[in-house]
Structure 1
Amino acid sequence: MTRAVLLFSSNVEANHLVAGIPAAVRAGVIVHQSQELGSSDVVIIAVPGGWQPTRWAKSEFARLLPNVRVAKGNPDQGDLTEGIPIMDGVSVLCGEPVVLANQDAAVHWLAQERQGPGQIRLLNTIGKDIVRATGKTSDGLVSRYLNRPISRAISNIVLKIPGVTPIHATGLAAFTGVLMAACLLFGSAWGLIAGALLFHAASVIDGVDGEIARATKRSSQFGAKLDTIIDGITNLAFLSLASLNLWMQGQFDAATYGAVGLGLLATGLTALGLRSIAMGGPFTFDAVKNNFNANPSKVKNTLASITSRDVYALVFALTFALGFAEWMLLLFALAAGIWLITISTVLLRTTARQS
C-alpha cells in the first residue's frame, strides 16, 4: 500500500477553492496521477490541529479520486508515519513539489510557511492560471481578446462558490437569452439595442460553462450538447424577435430581410440536423465545420473565423446600437443564402462519397 502526505498550514488553506476544486483535493489528484511521485492509494491530508474537510471537499474527493482512501494527519501530535513522503500541498499545486524528509522537517517547514507571504494569495494566483489555460486554440480574435478576458473574470468569481458546476453557467447563459427576448419583445428602438447587447453578452457568458468544465474536470458530451442547443435557440430567438421588433416599429424592409435570412438559416440547420440523425450520430450542426477542418486552407479558415458566433454576435450588437439594423439584416440575408449554398454543396459531396 502506497501512501503520501500532503501538508497544509491550516484548514482554510486545505479547503480553499482553487478554480472550483478544494486545494487538498486538487493536490491529491496531482499526486495520484504523477508518475514521478507514484500512484498513491492512500492520501493523508495533514493540517495542524487535524484536517476538517468541508462537505464540498468530501464530495470532490469522492468524484475525482473514487478509488483512493483519504486519511487525516496532525503534525502537532506526531502521527505522521516515518518513511511516508511528506509534501507541501501548495508546492504540489505550483508544479514544484517540496518533499520533506520527516515529521521534524514538516514542523519546521510549517513554522517558516506561516511567517512567509500569504499562501491564500498564491492559491488564488494558481486558480487564475488554471482558468487562463482553459482557452481554446480555435478561439478567434474577438473571442481571444474581448470575450475570453470577460468570461475568465466571470469564471474566476463564480468558481469561488462551493458547488458551482458548468450547468450553472449554462443556466446563466440561458437566462441572459430570456432577458434578450424580453427586451426585443418590448418593441422599441431601445429594446432592440438592449436585446442586441444582451445577445453579445450571452455569447460572452457562453464561454464560462466551458471554462468551468475544463477547470473543474467536468467536461461531458451531455454538457456540450446542451450548450449547443441553447446556443441555437438563442441565435434563432434573437433573429426572429429582432425582426418582429423592427416590424412593430414600422421598419418593414428590415424585418423582411431578417425573416428571409432566418428562413435560409433554419433551412440549413434543419438539413444538418437531419443528416446527423440519418447517419446515426449525435445531434450536431458541425458537418460543414468538420469538412472545412478535414481540408483546411487560408480561405476556409478565414470564413470559419468571421462566421463564428463571437464575431457575428459582436457585429450585430455594434450595428444595431449604431442604428444600422436594416443594413445588417440585409447583409445577414445575403450571407445566409451563401451559407445555405455551402451547406448544400458539402452535404451533397459527403453523400456522394458515402454512396
Structure 2
Amino acid sequence: MTREFLFFPSNAVANQLVAGVPTAVRAALALKERGDLREGPKLLIAAQDGWIPSDWTKSEFARLLPDVRWEAVEVPVDGSQGETEAIDAVELLCGSYVGSPQKALRSLGANILKATGKSSDGLVSRYLNRPISRSISRVLLKIPGVTPIHATGLAAFTGLLMAAALLFGGAHGLIAGAILFHAASVIDGVDGEIARATMRSSQFGAKLDTITDGITNLAFLCLASLNLYWQGEVEAASYGAIGLGILATGLTALGLRSIAVGGPFTFDAVKNNFRARPSKVTTFLAAITSRDVYAAIFALTFALGFAEGMLIIFACAVGFWLIVVLIVLIKTHQ
C-alpha cells in the first residue's frame, strides 16, 4: 500500500504565502478535504532543495491542522521513497499551470482573495471599495503573522486621523475628515477579507468590527457637526446634531436587540429582515443605507461644499430609518 507525500519544487515555494497561509499548509488542507490524510502515519513533506518549515508555517499547521502529524523528508533520487508516491503540491492546489510555481500560487492567492467578497456588499463596496480593500489585503497578506485584528486596528487608526482632522483642521479638516471617513469604510473591508482568506472568522472579530464601525460613524457625525459649529455654521451643525441623536437612538435599539437574541453582535437586524422578505423596495433601501454608500456620499458632498445640504438630507433620512427600525423591532419581538 503506497503512502503519499507532498513534493515542492523548493523550500521557498513550500513556505510561500498564498493569501496569508503557507503553501505547505494549504496543500495539506487540500489533501484532507479530498480524504487522503489518513490517521496514524505522518504526512511526509519534501522540497527539492530540502524543506525547512518557517515559524509561521509551523504555527499555521498547529492552528489549521492540529491533529495532523507531519515530517520533513529528503527527496528520493528516483522520485519515490519506499512505498510512497509523490504528489506535486502546486499541481494539487492550482491544477495544471503554465509558468513558474510562484506565479501560479500568486494567481491562486488572488482568486482566494477575490472570493472573500460578500453577497451583501452595497454598490459602492462592490465596484469601488472592494478593489481597493483587496489591494490592501493582498499587501498585508504577504506579511507572516498578519491577522484580521491588525486590519481592524488600521481601520481604527484611520478613524483617529479622521477625528484629528475634524477637530483641528477647520474648513479644510472638514473635507479631509469626510474623505478619511470614506477611507475607513474602505479599510473596514480588509479585516473580513483577511479573516475569510485565512480561515480566521470569529464571533469576537465580527463583534469588534461592528463596534469599531459604530464608533467611527458616530464620531464622524459628532465631530463634523462640532467642526461646523466652530466655523460659525450653527444651523448646519444643528442638523448634524439632530441626525446624530436619531442615529444613536436607532443603533442603541438595534444593539440591545442583538444582545437580547444572542449570537454575533450586529446592527443589521433591519437589513436581515429585508433580506428575509426580498422585494425591489427593501433591496433598494438596504443598498442605499449601507455604510459604503453613505460614507462615499458624505465624502463627495462635503468635498464639493454641500455639507449643510447633506446634513439636512441625512437628518430626514435617519428619521425615516428610525421609524423603520422601530417597526421591524416591534414586529419581530419575541
TM-score, normalised via structure 1 length: 0.89
Query: Equivalent pairs: percent with the same residue?
Result: 66
Q: Residues 79, 165 of structure 1: CA spacing in aligned structure 2 closer, same or farther, 3 A cutoff?
A: same
Specify which of 248, 258, 270 is matched with residue 276 of structure 1. 258
Q: Quote the residue 1:336 is aligned against.
A: 318
Q: Quote the residue 1:50 is aligned against.
A: 50
Q: Residues 64, 95 of structure 1: CA spacing in aligned structure 2 closer, same or farther, 3 A cutoff?
A: farther
**How far apart are the structure 1 equivalents of 2:95 and 2:190?**
25
**How far apart are the structure 1 equivalents of 2:2 and 2:68?**
10
Specify which of 123, 126, 133 is matched with residue 108 of structure 2. 126
Q: Residues 2, 238 of structure 1: CA spacing in aligned structure 2 closer, same or farther, 3 A cutoff?
A: farther
CA deviation after TM superposition for structure 1 residue 300, in Å: 0.1
Q: Is the 8 A contact 2:2 2:83 kept in 1?
A: no
Q: Quote the residue 2:6 is aligned against.
A: 6
Q: Deviations over 1:22-54 (max 9, x none)?
A: 11111111111114xx23343211112421010
Q: Quote the residue 1:72 is aligned against.
A: 72
**How far apart are the structure 2 equivalents of 1:296 and 1:189?**
42
**How far apart are the structure 2 equivalents of 1:350 and 1:48?**
61
Q: Residues 130, 25 of structure 1: CA spacing in aligned structure 2 closer, same or farther, 3 A cutoff?
A: same
Give the 5 Å matches for 1:122-161: 122-161=104-143
- Which stretch has the larger CA shift, 268-277 or 9-18? 268-277
- The runs of 5 or more residues in structure 2 that have no matched partner are none
In structure 2, give the amino acid aligned to 1:39: L
3-state SS of 2:24 partner: helix
CA deviation after TM superposition for structure 1 residue 294, in Å: 1.9
Q: Quote the residue 1:110 is aligned against.
A: none
3-state SS of 1:75 partner: coil
Q: Deviations over 1:317-346 (max 9, x none)?
A: 000000000000000000010011111111
In structure 1, give the amino acid aligned to 2:114: R
Matched, 1:287 2:260: no
* 4+ residue runs over 6 A deviation: none
CA deviation after TM superposition for structure 1 residue 256, in Å: 0.4
In structure 2, give the amino acid aligned to 1:120: Q
3-state SS of 1:46 partner: strand
Q: Deviations over 1:203-249 (max 9, x none)?
A: 00000101100110111111001000000000000000000000011
Q: Is the 8 A contact 2:182 2:295 kept in 1?
A: yes
**How far apart are the structure 1 equivalents of 2:263 and 2:99?**
53
**How far apart are the structure 2 equivalents of 1:181 and 1:225?**
22
CA deviation after TM superposition for structure 1 residue 57, in Å: 0.4
Specify which of 315, 323, 326 is matched with residue 297 of structure 2. 315
Q: Residues 128, 265 of structure 1: CA spacing in aligned structure 2 closer, same or farther, 3 A cutoff?
A: same
Q: Deviations over 1:250-271 (max 9, x none)?
A: 1111100000000001111112
**How far apart are the structure 2 equivalents of 1:280 and 1:186?**
40
Q: Residues 282, 290 of structure 1: CA spacing in aligned structure 2 closer, same or farther, 3 A cutoff?
A: same
- Which stretch has the larger CA shift, 268-277 or 84-93? 268-277
Q: Quote the residue 2:59 is aligned against.
A: 59
Q: Deviations over 1:178-214 (max 9, x none)?
A: 0000000014111001100000000000001011001
Q: Is the 8 A contact 2:206 2:264 kept in 1?
A: no
**How far apart are the structure 1 equivalents of 2:258 and 2:137?**
32
Q: Quote the residue 1:87 is aligned against.
A: 87
CA deviation after TM superposition for structure 1 residue 120, in Å: 1.3
- Which stretch has the larger CA shift, 328-337 or 292-301? 292-301
CA deviation after TM superposition for structure 1 residue 96, in Å: 5.7
Matched, 1:325 2:297: no
**How far apart are the structure 1 equivalents of 2:70 and 2:2?**
12
3-state SS of 1:161 partner: coil
CA deviation after TM superposition for structure 1 residue 76, in Å: 4.6
Q: Is the 8 A contact 1:187 1:249 kept in 2?
A: no
Q: Is the 8 A contact 1:2 1:40 kept in 2?
A: no
Q: Residues 78, 85 of structure 1: CA spacing in aligned structure 2 closer, same or farther, 3 A cutoff?
A: closer
Q: Quote the residue 1:100 is aligned against.
A: none
Q: Quote the residue 1:111 is aligned against.
A: none
Q: Residues 150, 81 of structure 1: CA spacing in aligned structure 2 closer, same or farther, 3 A cutoff?
A: same
Matched, 1:166 2:154: no
Q: Residues 65, 281 of structure 1: CA spacing in aligned structure 2 closer, same or farther, 3 A cutoff?
A: closer
CA deviation after TM superposition for structure 1 residue 2, in Å: 8.4
Q: Quote the residue 2:237 is aligned against.
A: 255
Q: Is the 8 A contact 1:73 1:80 kept in 2?
A: no
Q: Is the 8 A contact 1:166 1:212 kept in 2?
A: yes
